[in-house]
Amino acid sequence: MTAVGIDPLGRFLSDLGALYRTRRLYPGGNEQVQRAAQRTAEALARWGAPVRIAVLGDEVVVEDRAEAIAGHPLAGLLADLRASGCESVAIRPETTAEALARWLEAAARGGALEGPPGIEAGGLSFRGPSASPDEGPKGAPDQGALLPAVEEALADLASERKEGLQRAREIVSALAGHLAAETDLIQPIRDLKDHDDYTFTHALNVCALSGVLARALGARAELVDSIALGALCHDVGKYDVPREVLNFEGPLSPDDRQVMNGHPAHGARRLVDMGKEVHPLLPVIAYQHHMAADGSGYPRIPLPGGPHPASLIVAVADVFDALRTVRPYRGARTVAQACTVLLGDTAAGRLHRRHVSAFLGVFRVLGPGRAVAMSDGRRAAVLREGRPDALEPLVEAEDGQVVDLSLSAAPGIVEVLEAPP
Ligand SMILES: [Fe+2]
Ligand SMILES: [Fe+2]
């Protein structure tokens, strides 16, 4: 995985930020601008690989690392990019000083999408060369086969909110198109299907749920697709786990648990081995999806700043779908029970509250009439959905008191219940 934030990529980002600021102060032909552009182009050449920058909500993702936009060396440039409707850019290592300066000038005028040679702005188009039109979607899973599987899996949530299913459908449709272009990814996904059908179905569900969640969190279409694709591949490492271990009826022995817990590393290695054409988020998501926001999961590796937001988005969908499924060793949990587990993981610090809130919000799990248990021990019924935070609805407690859970002293929701109190 790529180390970001340190030399030489960190150097390039810092130089690009300085070039941006210099360009705002001086006209294009100015000597200081030219010198700053030259320095930036040299730093880029030293890095020697494309630099991929994407904006997700209030975070910027450079290669495999997310950081807050506030205080970032590129904060000003990112504001210009957003104003241009541009949320992702790939800068090739051979981009010249002149092209960099020209692009920043265009960005300041709202024209960031018209990237000069070497700069591809507007979409996360970091995929390998597309299949030629003659070849068609070689080996791509057929949309017709994917859609019914996902629709069935999401039927329970769909009854809560039709738009959720519609979005999932759009995401899976878009995904089938991406798989047609990324023929390299077909094989591990196919291997996984042959190896263990449950894991394949689970991957499809997590893909659709993660895509819906990413979109609810404000990611634009191309980043949603990348996260959904990462979610589809999150468990490809289970191909390296024997079927007997995957489907063992009962708690795993310590040895088997260790084998099972190796799947994130196996998956990341399989995706990394495919080379630079595979989007860098994919191995990151595969490696980190069980790490947990507080680092208490596995692999147990302390990461400054914690796992990537995309990994934690996928983790919400992963936990939810795993609980909703019947396994050889246990029955399926209900939507309410699975959401209660999400709330518990949030309270424990394993999942991000913002992600879980968006998940419950987009599927309207906490819509009017939903019964909940609160942290003060009372049960309550939701009167009005929480907006913008789904975890903070207006409720009527069992004693008749109406409580606005968005108020600072208000209790929290600790359990989603099946029936009204
Ligand atoms: Fe997993
Ligand atoms: Fe999973």
Task: State the distance from the centre of ligand 2 to the C-alpha of 48, rounded, in angstroms.
Answer: 34
Task: State the distance from the centre of ligand 1 to the C-alpha of 237, rounded, in angstroms.
Answer: 8
What does the mean pLDDT of the chain come to?
79
Task: State the distance from the centre of ligand 2 to the C-alpha of 249, rounded, in angstroms.
Answer: 18
> What is the number of the ligand closest to the CA of 198?
2
pLDDT exceeds 80 at position 417? yes
Q: Are strands 59-62 and 119-121 parallel, antiparallel or unpaired?
A: unpaired
Task: State the distance from the centre of ligand 2 to the C-alpha of 98, rounded, in angstroms.
Answer: 46
Task: State the distance from the centre of ligand 2 to the C-alpha of 235, rounded, in angstroms.
Answer: 5
Task: State the distance from the centre of ligand 2 to the C-alpha of 164, rounded, in angstroms.
Answer: 20
> What is the number of the ligand closest to the CA of 238?
1
Rounded to two decimals, the pTM is 0.62
pLDDT exceeds 60 at position 181? no
Task: State the distance from the centre of ligand 1 to the C-alpha of 221, rounded, in angstroms.
Answer: 25
Q: Which domains does the chain have, with CATH numbers?
A: 9-121 (no CATH), 143-332 (1.10.3210.10), 361-416 (no CATH)
415 pairs with which residues across the strands? 373
Residue 239's nearest CA partner among 267, 268, 258 is 267
> What is the number of the ligand closest to the CA of 231?
2
Task: State the distance from the centre of ligand 1 to the C-alpha of 298, rounded, in angstroms.
Answer: 10
- Give residue 169's pLDDT: 57
- Give residue 164's pLDDT: 52
Within 10 A of 221 (CB to CB), how many other CB atoms are there? Answer: 16
58 or 99, higher pLDDT: 99
> What is the number of the ligand closest to the CA of 317?
2
> What is the number of the ligand closest to the CA of 262?
1
Task: State the distance from the centre of ligand 2 to the C-alpha of 138, rounded, in angstroms.
Answer: 26
Q: Are 50 and 43 in contact, with CB atoms under 8 Å apart?
A: no
> What is the number of the ligand closest to the CA of 202?
2
> What is the number of the ligand closest to the CA of 320?
2
Q: Work out the burial of residue 275: count CB atoms within 10 Å of its CB; fewer than 13 is exposed, 13-18 middle, 19 or more buried.
A: exposed
pLDDT tens digits, one per residue of 18-40: 888 888 777 767 888 888 999 99
Q: Rounded to whole angstroms, what are the CA distances from 79 to 55, 84, 334?
A: 10, 9, 43
Average pLDDT over residues 376-392: 96
pLDDT tens digits, one per residue of 122-180: 533 222 222 222 222 233 334 344 444 444 444 444 444 445 555 555 666 566 555 55
> What is the number of the ligand closest to the CA of 209?
2
pLDDT tens digits, one per residue of 272-321: 888 777 788 899 999 999 999 999 999 998 887 889 999 999 999 999 98
> What is the number of the ligand closest to the CA of 203?
2
Task: State the distance from the centre of ligand 1 to the C-alpha of 242, rounded, in angstroms.
Answer: 14
Task: State the distance from the centre of ligand 1 to the C-alpha of 205, rounded, in angstroms.
Answer: 13
Residue 319's nearest CA partner among 302, 305, 304, 337 is 337
Task: State the distance from the centre of ligand 1 to the C-alpha of 234, rounded, in angstroms.
Answer: 6
> What is the number of the ligand closest to the CA of 199?
2
Task: State the distance from the centre of ligand 2 to the C-alpha of 234, rounded, in angstroms.
Answer: 6
| 3-class secondary structure per residue, the chain | CCCCCCCCHHHHHHHHHHHHHHHHHCCCCCHHHHHHHHHHHHHHHHHCCCEEEEEECCEEEECCEEEECCCCCCHHHHHHHHHCCCCEEEECCCCCHHHHHHHHHHHHCCCCCCCCCCEEECCCCCCCCCCCCCCCCCCCCCHHHHHHHHHHHCHHHHHHCHHHHHHHHHHHHHHHHHHHHCHHHHHHHHHHHHHCHHHHHHHHHHHHHHHHHHHHCCCCHHHHHHHHHHHHCCCHHHHHCCHHHHCCCCCCCHHHHHHHCCHHHHHHHHHHCCCCCCCCHHHHHHHHCCCCCCCCCCCCCCCCCCCCHHHHHHHHHHHHHHHHCCECCECCCCHHHHHHHHHHHHHHCCCCHHHHHHHHHHCCCCCCCCEEEECCCCEEEEEECCCCCCCCCEEEECCCCEEECCCCCCCCEEEECCCCC
- Give residue 58's pLDDT: 67
Task: State the distance from the centre of ligand 1 to the C-alpha of 110, rounded, in angstroms.
Answer: 42
Q: How far is CA 136 from the centre of its chain?
A: 28
